[in-house]
Chain A
Amino acid sequence: MANNILSISNISKSYGSIQALKNVSFDVPAGSVFGVLGPNGSGKTTLLAILLNVLQANNGSYSWLGGLPPDEARRQIGSLLETPNFYHYMSGYDNLAISAAIKKRGANDRDRVLGKLGLLERKHSKFQTYSLGMKQRLAIAGALLGNPSVLVLDEPTNGLDPVGIAEIREMIRQLNAEGITIIMASHLLDEVEKVCTHVAILKRGDLLVSGPVDEVLSAEDEIEIKAADMQALQAAIASMPGIKIKSANGLLQITGTATPAQVNEYCSSRGITLSHLLLKKKSLESKFIELTN
């Protein structure tokens, strides 16, 4: 457990008769980019809000950074939850001074983070004069104050243009390469797939699956095979353990635990030469749609 920066155990939350989270448990390994995915209303933001003490769980527990007191842990975590929350009558620079004072670190780091997010020229403008994208950038800058070891980002690309989205994606990769653990909630699956090492998928409060992205998706990889004698191929491969076979478009489609090498060897050992062998990796999006529908 020492390698987990966050452990969540059986967290449940209800709003009246609506069960927003049902016994959700998973661990976030140190150094990962952990995507919390789910359609709107699946409980992503509720879960993050509980972990940041904004909402209170009905049941369950969580532990940050090896069991640090929650408020001390939050000071070491940079967080953006739901919307940028700042004093509208104050400048971006002065707003970050409040965050830094509460965190007890980062007051001298304001220029660096504002520069990193492209807000240095507008640092003395009032928050209420910022565009939606600038507000989002300021919130990310606030999360980066004082070089936190963990970042919690709830829909970090909200309100950003395509260039901004690409910049944030690159920044997440860069920060992760520097050793920062990132927990990111999003419904933009393409974005998540590009940067996440681990995922947890929620649907209506249920945790459907969690783990390394490769593991979550690998069981669903599909292998396409073809041979000159398709009848002989089908008869031979049917006896291979741990797979399912489907016939389509003149090909056999195999799902299960077998790797392409194992399929090739199995067919070869039965005197069948494959004329087509293709591994079709399942995208996170198709896996997500399959799980959540």
Chain B
Amino acid sequence: MKALLAIEWLKIKRYRTVWVLTSLFLGFILLFNILIATETLTLGGKGINILNSDYTFSGVWLNTTYWTKAFAGLIALMVIILTTNEYQYRTNRQNVIDGWQRSQFFHAKWLLVLVLGMVVTLFTFATGIIFGLLNGSSLSDAGTHIEKLFYLFILLLNYCGVALTLSFFLKRTGLAIVIFILYAYPLENILWGISLNPNYGNFGFFTPMESSAGLLMFPFPPAAKEALPKHMPSDSSYLAASLAYIAFYYLLGRWKLLKGDW
């Protein structure tokens, strides 16, 4: 496992695109949190701001994990670029020719996704701790809603799992990015909208990406909570659906890579 990750590190450490995307991602997260916490960025009128500026430990995890989620697509795009590059330059073949088993190539990519998920979650944790302390909270209160960090980690695995699976099947960078963006934004929103019709049940809550997005809902201030749908699925059902999707991506990708030609 360590050896696989060491080789993935050799591949990315000199890849400028990775560092530009990572900097953009982390920069956007910090910027949004700062703008909202300081109420420089507000949304609404007549003295009402629906952006929650509670960055004490009672609300910091709701805010920081949501805004990390909002930009998680950039990390998924990075996974697509790193994986489809291997197909474009046939380095996936070279890795196997040099002696990797096909499953080692596959697991190296999943390990990369796990590490990315952990790094982003840790960054969000550090951001939350700093904001919480700067807003006068006591560390002893830091446990309020801290489960949201775990949910964020699961969401990142889910989003990156979608990206990885698309990359394994489509193999072309541009095509995989377009399909990912089309699915992640208009298509899932359409499905979610359809599901609000009682005749179609609640399936929209459990579409591939929404099943994790539901774990990190928009952090409305208490006064605006009325905007949420009345009958939301529980966190545990969202979590179970997310884990099932992650397991499905793992098995589907493994089947694809172990069978057939490269």
Interface residues of A (CB under 8 A from B): 49, 52-56, 71-72, 74-75, 79, 81-83, 85-91, 94, 97-99, 101-104, 142
B193 to chain A, nearest CB (A): 41
A89 touches B97 (CB 8 A): no
B14's nearest neighbour on chain A, judged by CB, is A90
Interface residues of B (CB under 8 A from A): 3, 6-7, 10-11, 14-17, 85, 89-91, 93-102, 259-262
Cα–Cα distance between A74 and B105 once the two chains are bound (Å): 15
Cα–Cα distance between A91 and B101 once the two chains are bound (Å): 25
Question: SS class of chain B's interface: helix, strand, loop or mixed?
Answer: helix
A85 touches B89 (CB 8 A): yes
A89 touches B15 (CB 8 A): yes
Among B3, B11, B96, B102, the residue within 8 A (CB) of A87 is B11
B107 to chain A, nearest CB (A): 13
B91 touches A86 (CB 8 A): yes
A241 to chain B, nearest CB (A): 51
Residue among B3, B10, B94 having the largest count of chain A Cβ atoms under 10 Å: B94
Given contacts A54-B261, A55-B261, A88-B89, contact A81 B97 (CB under 8 A): yes
CB neighbours of A88 from chain B (8 A): 89
B96 touches A53 (CB 8 A): yes
The 19 listed contacts between A and B (C-beta, < 8 Å) are: A53-B97, A53-B102, A55-B262, A71-B101, A79-B97, A81-B97, A83-B90, A85-B93, A85-B94, A86-B89, A86-B91, A87-B11, A87-B89, A89-B16, A90-B11, A94-B14, A98-B7, A98-B11, A99-B94
Cα–Cα distance between A71 and B99 once the two chains are bound (Å): 5
A126's nearest neighbour on chain B, judged by CB, is B14
Among A55, A71, A85, A94, the residue within 8 A (CB) of B100 is A71
Q: Give 7 A-B pairs besides A75-B98, A89-B16 with Cβ atoms closer than 8 angstroms.
A: A52-B97, A54-B262, A56-B260, A87-B11, A87-B85, A89-B14, A103-B99
